[in-house]
Chain A
């Protein structure tokens, strides 16, 4: 099956610093990648949709200047949490849509646990 990786799997950073999370599709090309956030015991909340070579589309309530998304190639998207604060501590998950498939199943990465101290 299609594989999506994320790096790092866990990160701890100090308040006020920025953190970059990478999402890679390993064995397929992804024209579209998605970024989700999940708080403990809650469901996944879509943050933004990222299309290769164009600006990301953010969901209502998500600050685009705080969560910078770059989708520079068909296999890589990055999420940068700028000036992180403790309330940004969460589980960040990316997914990728397989460009070559007829149907639109998304494949999810393993997630990145961000802790801001």
Chain B
């Protein structure tokens, strides 16, 4: 699976959009971009995933560049409860696929 690179941390103000970047320059054609987050001392929570089109769900939007070498997770209106470690993972699908977690980015939402 392709390696992803994320800044170690960022913060944003409550109510503002949080834009979390991720680089995956070696992503292969069959690999999806997945985003999970982990709130302190809990299991990771699935947020969103995509292949090449932009995706949106009730939690977030995922913007993938046309060359698929990078992506941005957007939390449109961050709240204090969004403070967590966010993991960007490039992984293929199928019976043998698995998720490899990097260090992630720690998002701190300030009041």
Which residues in A have some Cβ–Cβ distance to B below 8 Å?
1, 4, 6, 32, 34, 36, 43-46, 49, 91, 93, 95, 103-111, 113
Considering the complex, give the chain B residue whose CB is closest to the CB of A91. Answer: B41
Q: Within B19-65, which residues are at the interface with A (CB < 8 Å)?
A: 32, 34, 36, 38, 41-46, 49
* Cβ of A47 to closest chain B Cβ, rounded Å: 11
- Residue contact B43 to A93, C-beta cutoff 8 Å: yes
Closest 7 CB pairs of A and B: A108-B43, A44-B101, A104-B93, A43-B101, A108-B44, A111-B43, A105-B46
Asked whether B100 is an interface residue with its Cβ less than 8 Å from the other chain, the reply is: yes
Q: Which B residues lie within 8 Å of A34 (CB)?
A: 98-99
Q: Which A residues lie within 8 Å of B94 (CB)?
A: 104
27 residue pairs from A and B, CB less than 8 Å apart: A6-B43, A32-B95, A34-B99, A36-B101, A43-B87, A43-B104, A44-B44, A44-B101, A45-B101, A46-B99, A46-B100, A49-B98, A93-B43, A103-B32, A103-B49, A103-B93, A104-B93, A105-B34, A106-B46, A108-B36, A108-B43, A108-B44, A108-B46, A110-B42, A111-B41, A111-B42, A111-B43
